[in-house]
Each structure stands twice: as C-alpha cells, then as structure tokens.
Amino acid sequence: MSESPQHHGQWSSRIAFIIAASGSAIGLGNIWKFPYLLGENGGGAFVLVYIACVIGIGLPIMMAETMIGRRGQRSPIHTMTVLAKEAKATPLWQIAGWLGVLAGFLILSYYSVIAGWSMAYLFKMVGGFMDQVGPEEAQQVFMDLKAAADVQLVWHSLFMALTTAILMKGLTEGIERVTRVMIPSLFLMLLALDVYAATTPGFWEGMTFLFKPDFSKITPDSLLIAMGQAFFSLGLGMGSIMIYGAYLPKNVSIGRSSVIVSIADTAVALMAGIAIFPVVFSNHLPPSMGPGLIFETLPLAFSHMPLGALFGSLFFLLVFFAAITSAIALIEPAIAYLIETFDYSRQKASAIACGVCWFLGLGTLGSFTGGNQWQWHGKTFFELIDFVTADVMLPLGGILIAVFAGWVMKEKVSAAELDLGRYLRYWQIGSRYIAPLAVTLILLKALGLF
Ligand code: PFF
C-alpha cells in the first residue's frame, strides 16, 4: 500500500460532487423499495419515521463518512488504515474499509439484475407490449421475465457493460459527465410524472395514503425497517460516499453538501411515492403489493390510462438512470483499491471489478430462474447476498464509521475537516451516541437477537 495519497483526481466543482453523491444515493432504493415499504408499513406514519431516521442517523453518518474519505484521500481500505495510524489506533480499523468495498461489490451483483428488469420493462413499454394488459397478464409478464434466464442475462450484461464503460472513462469524463445529465433529467421526469399523477382520479386518495399519518401503524418492526431503508437509500456504510469524499476538494463544506444530498434523496423517494400511488389507486389496485409494486401493479395501471405508454416509458427510463448512477458508486471503492494496490490502469481495474461482479450476478439470476433449489438456511443466493449486505455488512460498516469518526479520530482533526461551527456539537451527539445505538439495534434485529 502506498503511504502517499494516490492521484485519482478530484471533482471539478462542489456541484459536481453534490450531483454525483446524489446519483449514488438516488437509486432503486428510492423508486423501487421505498414505495413498496411505505405501502406495506402504513403510509404517512412510515414517511415521518423515515424522515426522522434520515435526520437523526443518516445525516451524521453521511458527514462522518465523507469526512473520513476526504481526510484519507484513498480507497476506503487504505483510508481507514492511514487514518487509524494517524489516530494511533489499531490497524484493525481497516476492516471497516474492507466491509465497505466488499458490500458495494456484492450489492452491485444483484442490483444489476434488478436494474436489468427496469431496462426490460422500458423496452416493453416503448414497444407497446404492455398496452391494455389485464391483471393476470401483468403478473404473468413479470413472472415470465423472472423465469427467463436468457432474457435477464442479456439485460444484466448490458447494464454491467454500460456501467463499466462509464467507469473506464474516469471521474470527470465518466462519472461527472453522466450524472450531470442523468440526475437533473431524472428530477424533471419525476416532476412530469407527479404532474401526470395529479390529473388522475386517485390523486387525493394517493396523497392521503402518503401523507396522513396513522400512528397506530408504527410498530417496532416498521421503525427498524425505516432505519435500514434510510441507510440503504442514502448509500451509507459501504465506502461509496467515502470514496466520493476522497475526491472532494478541501474547500467544500461537507456539512452543507451532505444536507443537500440527504434532502435530494428524500425528495426523490417522496416524489416517487406521489407518482406511483395515485396511479395505483386510480385503478383500484392494492398499494401493498411488495417488491412487485413497480413491476406488476404499476405497468398494469399505466396500461389502462390515457398516455399511459408514454408515462410508463418515462418511468422506466427514470428507474434506469437512478440505477446506473448508483451502480457506478457501488463499485468505485473496489476500483480505487485495485488501482492503488496493483497499480492497474483505470480501464483494467474497471474491467476486472465489473467483470467479477457480472459473474457473481449470475448467481442472483440463477436464484430467480429455477436455481432456487440451491438454498442455505432457507435463503436463495439472492436472498443471502441481500441479507448479508443490507442487513449485516452495511449496519456494521455504519457503526464502525460513526464510532471511528466520533470517538477515535482526534477531535481537532474532525472539527477542522467538518468545519461545522456551532453545529459541531449536534454532529458529535449524532455520531457518538444516536447513530451507533440506533444502528446497533438494526443489526441485532436483523440477526434475530432482538
Ligand atoms: N442508495 C442506493 C439506492 O437507494 O438504491 C443504493 C446504494 C448506492 C447503496 C450506493 C449504497 C451505495 F454505496
């Protein structure tokens, strides 16, 4: 490992960082997962709890992770090693970096398969294959897709190839250039979909469902689900925001940027809800369909509406944009690590990391298409990877990051990097107490110990 910072480059401006970090945060988690979790966990009450989690837990950890990255200037593994040394702490802290790199890598392997579904649906919508389908047909289309290994393989491969191509181009020419176009257009498309939803008969029913809190629906379970989702959605605990922080110029305010990214991420999740639920209610469909909400319920709803094909296509294009801007962030820590450790060119590192990820994705693909006989403790390959990453590695990484930033790093170092002025105290309370405690609860819950 090199002792001096590597020259990975820097973001060209503060805005470039904010857009790229928003690209990492805004993903399938906002558009696919948040709406169905909300649908299953009581609507408005869940929204409130979720926002509290973003502010109380997500924000301090996001600042901590960005700050650690910028201080270290390297891939998460090397950053943690160097900063542990600086703080005269045990080198074992590099485990937090390893957790991050590995989790991002594993998540991308299945993320790509699901992103592939969104591409398949985009194709179906544009091609008019979803016009006037009935409920059984819509269900059948989704089941057929999940059963077709060859079709999924094509989309998964295409998605990974596009991700690799962007990453090979590097920071400015690749990541910045793509996110700069995709993230603002994603906002605009979502806005158009929200306006469209406002013209549908189910609009008020959808809004009431989204924003009217029913506190009787808040259970310890939904609390923990909201916490876990805030974590995943902000893209914390897996080195992505740490590596993006490593490319951040010294003069940019971490506090202000983190607040903007958190607001953007939450706004997109809510805007996705506003786009989806009125359309679902207009067609008298159930809001609590689970993971099938955007792939089964929504296409069915669009297929019966005026201009439905157009807005349906727009929707899946948006999902694709959200997914690919997150995918590049998920694998960037691994790429930076390969470049630093083996002195690979960016092209070579991207090809290797993405290639291995593509290969791992075949396991997920197989677990949807008949390979589900292979199970470990009752979980398919996909469920296992999802569980190990989202429920174990991510919270663990988050706890380690919060504790390291709040307790291990010298206060004068973190205070200087964060430059929060009188808000520093709030950050310290969040990163020292609230975040580690709350995330420990998520972890214990996931492991069935609580
Ligand atoms: N935040 C992304 C989403 O909501 O889909 C997923 C993600 C991206 C998680 C990048 C973690 C990450 F580092």
108 CA → ligand 1 middle, Å: 9
Query: Which helix (H) or strand (E) segment is 251 a member of?
Result: none
Measured CA to CA in angstroms, residue 138 lies from 27, 266, 308, 398 at distances of: 24, 29, 14, 39
Two tokens, residue 43: 């609507």
Residue 6's pLDDT is 59
Using H for helix, E for strand and C for coil, what is the string for 394-441? HHHHHHHHHHHHHHHCCHHHHHHHHCCHHHHHHHHHHHHHHHHHHHHH
Per-residue DSSP letters for 159-211?
HHHHHHHHHHT-IIIIIIHHHHHHHHHHHHHHHHHHHHHHTSTTHHHHHHHHH
Residue 175 lies in a domain: yes
Instruction: Flag whether 326 is in a domain.
Output: yes
Q: Residue 223 C-alpha to ligand 1 middle, in angstroms?
A: 20
Gyration radius of the chain's alpha carbons: 21
How far is ligand 1, taken at its centre, from the CA of residue 330, in Å? 7
- Report if residue 404 sits inside a domain: yes
User: What CATH number should be reported for the domain holding residue 219?
Assistant: 1.10.4160
Helix (H) or strand (E) holding 1: none
Handedness of CA 359, 364, 369, 375 (dihedral sign): positive
The parent domain of residue 308 ranges over 14-446
Cβ neighbours of residue 196 closer than 8 Å, sequence gap 6 or more: 275, 307, 311
| pLDDT of amino acid 163 | 98
Tokens 């605009």 belong to which residue?
188
Alpha-carbon span 17 to 22, nearest angstrom: 8
Provide the pLDDT for residue 373. 66
The predicted pLDDT at position 154 comes to 97
Structure confidence at residue 3 (pLDDT):
45
Amino acid at 213: P
Residue 168: the pLDDT is 97
**Within-domain flag for 6:** no
**Residue 220 placed within a domain:** yes
Contacts of residue 39, Cβ cutoff 8 Å, sequence gap at least 6: 277, 287, 288, 289, 290, 293
Q: Which residues pair with 50 in a beta bridge?
A: none
First to last CA, the chain: 40
- Coil/strand/helix, residue 58: helix
Nearest CA residue ID for atom 12, ligand 1: 235
Q: Is residue 317 included in any domain, yes or no? A: yes
145 assigned to some structural domain: yes
Rounded to the nearest angstrom, the distance between the alpha carbon of 69 and the centre of ligand 1 is 17
pLDDT value of residue 219? 86
Number of domains making up the chain: 1
Backbone torsions φ then ψ of 214, nearest 5 degrees: -120, 100
> Nearest 5°: phi and psi at 160?
-65, -35
Q: Which of 112, 117, 175, 240 to mutate to test the pocket of ligand 1 (most atoms within 8 A of CB)?
A: 240
- Ligand 1 nearest-atom number relative to CA 323: 5
For residue 283, the model assigns a pLDDT of 86
pLDDT at res. 216 = 86
Per-residue pLDDT of the chain (450 residues; tens, 9 = 90+): 444 555 688 999 999 999 999 999 999 999 999 998 988 888 899 999 999 999 999 999 999 999 999 999 999 999 999 999 999 999 999 999 999 999 998 999 999 999 999 999 999 999 988 888 888 888 899 999 999 999 999 999 999 999 999 999 999 999 999 999 999 999 999 999 999 999 999 999 999 999 988 888 888 888 888 988 999 999 998 899 999 999 999 999 999 999 999 999 999 999 999 999 998 898 888 888 778 889 988 888 888 778 888 989 999 999 999 999 999 999 999 999 999 999 999 999 999 999 999 999 998 888 888 766 677 877 888 888 988 998 889 889 999 999 999 999 999 999 999 999 899 999 999 999 999 999 998 889 888 887
Question: What distance in angstroms lies between residue 64's CA and the mean position of ligand 1's atoms?
Answer: 17
- The ligand 1 atom nearest the CA atom of 238: 13
In a domain, 4, yes or no: no
With beta carbons less than 8 A apart as the criterion, state whether 263 and 55 touch.
no
* Residue 99 CA to ligand 1 centre (angstroms): 15
Closest CA to 63 of 325, 398, 333: 398
Residues 6+ apart with CB under 8 A from 270: 47, 210
Q: What is this structure's pTM?
A: 0.93
Residue 74: per-residue pLDDT: 95
Residues with CB under 6 A from ligand 1: 24-25, 27-30, 104, 232-233, 235, 238, 240, 326, 329-330
Atom of ligand 1 nearest to the CA of 235: 11
